[in-house]
Amino acid sequence: MHPYAGEVGIAGVLDRAADGGRITPDEALLLYTDAPLHALGQAADAVRRRRFPDNIATYIIDRNINYTNVCVTACKFCAFYRAPKHDEGWTHSQEEILRRCGEAVELGATQIMLQGGHSPELGIEWYEQTFSAIKSNYPQLTLHSLGASEVVHISKTSTLDFGTVIRRLNAAGLDSFAGAGAEILVQRPRTAIAPLKEDGETWLSVMETAHRLGVESTATFMMGTGETNAERIEHLRMIRDVQDRTGGFRSFIPWTYQPENNHLRGRTQATSLEYLRMVAVARLFFDNVNHLQGSWLTTGKDIGQLTLHFGADDLGSVMLEENVVSSAGARHRSNRTELIDLIRGAGRIPAQRDTLYNHLVVHRDPQDDPVDDRVHSHFSSTALRLLPVAAAN
């Protein structure tokens, strides 16, 4: 029990947070561990309602193109990567990447997430050529891609400082950085699961540099790899401190570690209840981050829908393609109709958004909902090989 976990203490912190007041990391930890679930959810939903009085919750249509599985970082939670020179290593050609972008545009995608391994053979010129080609062929696509870890990697392969890497990527067509590579930013658990990856302070410094250069990003959190409750809250604190200085994180996206086919072997994991509590605490703690995205890919559609009652205002992507998390066991699939129904079923007005959370289509009348059974998430061939035959059908 927390030192001041009395009912009055918890209720007072919840009331202050629900009214928009700032809570401390200690208070966030108190709420995460001891606040009654329904009261916690109600407070987070009050913050959500005040920020978004239109009662709209959003989704996006995008494609996550994983351009290579070759990686030197060897994160213990990753089932996707292959070491350099491995027989199963591959890197997509520019032609293949453009083909996938074209498919995405045809299906109504507005965003491409290019993400992949840290291949020693890919210097900044490869990324510049790839981004430029995408922008030349599909100028309507927003490139919300890479992340701080890729900037660190490119700075090594091309012997450039972080600022130069960011400016050159941006000039070539990168619009926004994804929150990839954050996992958990606190030193002890980060070192345990990704000893070869940059430390959390470096990850944040890259993001801060990007924000100051005019390139915004998202921030993420992978729960359930052996971190303590206090370390979970410390991860939030580290992000909020940078956000106080830059304002460049447009959303926070927590998700849960997937246990299959990787070296951690599912020894820890976060429960659905822990995940929902984290979503709610994040909404209360991040008084300076506008959007909060719930995850259905790793937790399932029922829990994804529940996040909309715990402070989330967005359900993320239909995800026309996803390889990395599905390689580690995420089996959940969805389509645009299902996401619209999940949002409406939670009492919200569904809307398709773009990368900047502008509303592209607001689905106020169910009779006007889009009908296109091709717009659905799917597992790539790299993930399908890991599935039993019965489950793949």
Model confidence pLDDT, tens digit, residues 12-66: 999 999 999 999 999 999 999 999 999 999 999 999 999 999 999 999 999 999 8
What is the CATH topology of the domain spanning 54-392?
TIM Barrel (3.20.20)
pLDDT at 195: 84
Going by C-alpha positions, the residue among 13, 52, 49 that lies closest to residue 30 is 13
Q: Which helix (H) or strand (E) holds 253?
A: strand 249-256
- pLDDT at residue 388 above 60? no
Strand partners, 254: 221
Tell me which of 5-19, 150-164, 210-224 is least confident.
5-19
Q: Burial level of 245, CB count in 10 A (0-12/13-18/19+)?
A: exposed
More confident residue, 196 or 146: 146
pLDDT for the residue 322: 43
- pLDDT tens digits along 268-282: 467 899 999 999 999
Q: Quote the mean pLDDT of the chain.
A: 86
Q: Are 261 and 328 spatial neighbours (Cβ–Cβ below 8 Å)?
A: yes
Residue 228: the pLDDT is: 95
Residues 6 or more apart whose Cβ sits within 8 Å of residue 171? 128
* β 217-223/249-256 pair status: parallel
CA distances (Å), origin 291, targets 153, 197, 281, 357:
28, 27, 13, 9
User: Nearest-CA neighbor of 355 among 201, 199, 179?
Assistant: 179
Predicted local confidence at residue 283, as pLDDT: 98
Across 202-209, average pLDDT: 98
pLDDT at 91: 84
Residue 180, both tokens: 């990839």
Model pLDDT, residue 376? 61
The predicted model gives 82-105 an average pLDDT of 85
- Summarize the confidence of residues 288-304 as an average pLDDT: 89
Q: Where are the domains of the chain?
A: 54-392
Comparing 263 with 362, the larger pLDDT belongs to: 362
- Examine the pLDDT at 267 and tell me if it is beyond 90: no
Local confidence band at 325 (pLDDT 50, 70, 90 cut-offs): very low
DSSP state of 379: B
pLDDT at 260: 44
CA distances from 109 to 4, 113, 365 (A): 49, 11, 22
Three-state SS at 112: strand
In a 13 Å sphere around the CA of 89, the CA atoms on its Cβ side amount to 16
- Of 8-12, 92-96, 123-127, 372-376, least confident by mean pLDDT is 372-376
How would DSSP label each residue in 132-167?
HHHHHH-TT-EEEE--HHHHHHHHHHTT--HHHHHH
pLDDT of residue 122: 87
User: What is the reported pLDDT for 239?
Assistant: 98
pLDDT in the model for residue 171: 98
Token pair 């990753």 in the structure block, residue: 78
User: Which of 86-95, 99-108, 202-211 ranks highest by mean pLDDT?
Assistant: 202-211
